[in-house]
Amino acid sequence: MIASRIFAALAALFLVTAVAIAALTPLGMTLGQGLALMDGTWMAWIQKQSPAWSWMWLEQPFLLRPLWLIPAGMGLICAGAAASLNFGRASPSRRKRS
C-alpha cells in the first residue's frame, strides 16, 4: 500500500519534470545537447569509459532522444508500478459491510 503511494508520487514528480523541461527548453533539444550544456566534458568521459558496442548501440541512441522523454518514460513506468501494486485491493470505503 505504501509502495504504491511512493510510486504514484514519483510518477507525478517525473511527469511534472518532463512537462517543465519540454516547456522551458528550446524546441527539439536532445538529451545529448542538454548534457553538453551542463558539462561539455561529461559525454567524452562516458564515451571513454564505455565499451564501443555499448556506446554505439545503447548510449548514443538515448542521446538523440528529446530531453523530456527520459523523465516522461520514468513517470510512466512509476505510474504503472503504482497501479499494479494497488490493483485488486479494495479501499476501506468500498468493502462490504455486513
pLDDT at 75 over 90: yes
Which amino acid type is present at position 90?
Answer: A
Q: What is the pTM of this model?
A: 0.75
Residue spans of alpha helices (H) in 1-98: 2-24, 31-38, 42-49, 52-54, 60-63, 69-86
Do 61 and 35 fall within a single domain?
A: yes
pLDDT at 29 over 90: yes
Do 55 and 74 fall within a single domain?
A: no
Instruction: Look at the chain and report how many structural domains it folds into.
Output: 2
Domain of residue 41 covers 30-65
Do 85 and 58 fall within a single domain?
A: no
Do 20 and 37 fall within a single domain?
A: no
* Pairs from 37-41 (Cβ < 8 Å, separation ≥ 24): none
Q: What pLDDT sits at residue 65?
A: 93
pLDDT at 59 over 70: yes
